[in-house]
């Protein structure tokens, strides 16, 4: 098995955004621009080191519309997730908010992102330690400071992800792509396959076998319940969940486009279910 060094630094240049992948001030400035253009409401959940951990939500959320949560940037070296989310926002028209309640966690681990390494600056893994006990979120010895903040807002995040959670990760070791998916089924359905194919449009799909000790078949690791954020929200009631994994050995800009594409597809499939 391959393993990831949590403090190895990875950075790439983006021609699309004309900056380095870990240029956090440029990222926040562009995010602010889009949040303002789209009328997104920012809600500070806590502080991740010197940076605020913010949830952005579409304005005037309606009870009769589906609610989905898109998150990115849990692992600092997986930079195409946050930039892909930003690319998606750049292309978005606010009319969409008349059909769907959109919530966004654009950059969960800013201190890792800035350094281009996996863990936060305290050396913690922000995607571990999400325990559900008696219907409530609880931390354990593996929970990061960002995780504590997210767990403290479990109810808000459960409501925001009622109709689905998509979390954008990358696998820096690979040239191929795959997804984790969660559906209330024995086998991956069309939803999982379509999202896998959104990435498969950009990269080869991983061969069957084991990735991180999980069985991957047709590019999908299915219903793997660990103590990750996405598994936690599915346990809390999100009707579907997907964790996308773009390959870090491929072109950075292609990975940005692939992340934007899977977010767009996730929105489209949510609307198609109505
Ligand atoms: Zn990751």
- Cα end-to-end distance, the chain, whole Å: 42
Mark whether 245 is an active-site residue: yes
Q: Does 4 fall in a domain? A: no
CATH number, position 103? 3.40.630.10
The verdict on residue 7 lying in a domain is no
Q: Which of 45, 48, 224, 231 is nearest to 144 (CA)?
A: 48
Cα 202 vs. chain centroid, distance in angstroms? 18
pLDDT number for residue 208: 98
CA angle 274, 261, 170 (to 5 degrees): 115
Please tell me the distance between residue 130's alpha carbon and the centre of ligand 1 in angstroms. 15
What is the pLDDT, as a whole number, of residue 1?
41
Q: What six digits make up the tokens of 272?
A: 């198609």
Radius of gyration of the chain (CA): 17
Under 8 Å between Cβ of 160 and 57: yes
Give 98 Cα–ligand 1 centroid separation in angstroms: 32
- Among the listed residues 77, 146, 183, 245, the single catalytic one is 245
Residue 119 to residue 121: CA distance in whole angstroms: 7
Contact status, residue 154 vs residue 136, Cβ threshold 8 Å: yes
Cα of 77 to ligand 1 centre, how many Å? 8
Least Cα distance to 263 among 87, 142, 119 occurs for 87
Which helix H or strand E contains 80, and what residues bound it? helix 80-91
Distances (CA, A) of 169 to 80, 137, 155, 180: 8, 22, 23, 10
Cα–Cα distance for residue pair 70/90, rounded to 1 Å: 15
User: Which residue from 159, 117, 137, 111 is spatially nearest to 231, judged by alpha carbons?
Assistant: 137
pLDDT of residue 4: 82
Would 64 be classed as within a structural domain?
Answer: yes
Cα(243) to ligand 1 centroid in Å equals: 9
Within a domain: residue 186?
A: yes
- Taking the centre of ligand 1 as the mean of its atom positions, its distance from the CA of residue 35, in whole angstroms, is 25
171 CA from centroid of ligand 1 (Å): 7
- How would you write the pLDDT of the chain (274 residues) with one tens digit per residue? 457 899 999 999 999 999 999 999 999 999 999 999 999 999 999 999 999 999 999 998 999 999 999 999 999 999 999 999 999 999 999 999 999 999 999 999 999 999 999 999 999 999 999 999 998 999 999 999 999 999 999 999 999 999 999 999 999 999 999 999 999 999 999 999 999 999 999 999 999 999 999 999 999 999 999 999 999 999 999 999 999 999 999 999 999 999 999 999 999 999 998 7
Contacts of 96 (CB under 8 A, 6+ apart): 58, 102, 267
Q: DSSP class of residue 40?
A: P
2 within a domain of the structure (yes/no): no
The strand pair at 214-216 and 136-138 is best described as: unpaired
110 vs 56: CA distance, rounded Å: 16
State residue 262 phi and psi, 5-degree precision. Answer: -70, -35
The DSSP code for 217 is: B
Report the relative pairing of strands 214-216 and 209-211 from DSSP bridges. antiparallel
In angstroms, what is the span from residue 274 Cα to ligand 1's centroid?
Answer: 31
Q: Does a structural domain hold residue 245?
A: yes
**Structural domains counted in the chain:** 1
Q: Rounded to the nearest whole angstrom, what is the distance from the C-alpha of residue 170 to the centroid of ligand 1?
A: 6
Residue 198, in any domain of the structure: yes
Q: Do 247 and 174 meet the contact criterion of CB atoms below 8 Å apart?
A: yes
User: Ligand 1 centroid to 89 CA: how many Å?
Assistant: 21
Which residue has tokens 């996308």? 244
Q: Is residue 51 domain-resident?
A: yes
107 lies in which domain range?
A: 13-272
């Amino acid at each position: 098995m391959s393993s990831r060094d949590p403090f190895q630094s990875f950075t790439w240049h983006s021609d699309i955004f004309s900056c380095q992948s870990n240029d956090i001030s440029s990222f926040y400035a562009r995010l602010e621009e889009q949040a303002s253009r789209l009328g997104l409401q920012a809600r500070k959940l806590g502080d991740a080191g010197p940076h605020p951990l913010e949830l952005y939500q579409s304005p005037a959320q309606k009870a009769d519309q589906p609610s989905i949560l898109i998150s990115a940037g849990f692992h600092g070296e997986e930079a195409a997730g946050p930039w892909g989310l930003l690319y998606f926002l750049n292309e978005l028209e606010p009319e969409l908010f008349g059909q769907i309640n959109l919530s966004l966690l654009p950059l969960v681990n800013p201190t890792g992102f800035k350094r281009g390494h996996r863990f936060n600056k305290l050396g913690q893994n922000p995607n571990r330690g999400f325990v559900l006990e008696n219907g409530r979120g609880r931390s354990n010895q593996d929970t990061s400071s960002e995780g504590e903040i997210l767990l403290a807002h479990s109810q808000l995040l459960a409501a925001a992800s009622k109709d689905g959670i998509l979390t954008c990760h990358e696998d820096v070791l690979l040239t191929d792509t795959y997804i984790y998916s969660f559906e209330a089924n024995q086998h991956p359905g069309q939803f999982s396959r379509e999202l896998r194919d959104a990435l498969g449009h950009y990269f080869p799909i991983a061969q069957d076998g084991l990735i991180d000790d999980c069985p991957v078949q047709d590019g999908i690791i299915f219903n793997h319940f660990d103590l990750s954020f996405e598994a936690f929200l599915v346990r809390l009631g999100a009707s579907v969940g997907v964790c996308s994994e773009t390959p870090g050995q491929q072109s950075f800009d292609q990975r940005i486009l692939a992340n934007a594409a899977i977010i767009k597809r996730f929105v489209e499939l949510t609307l198609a279910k109505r």
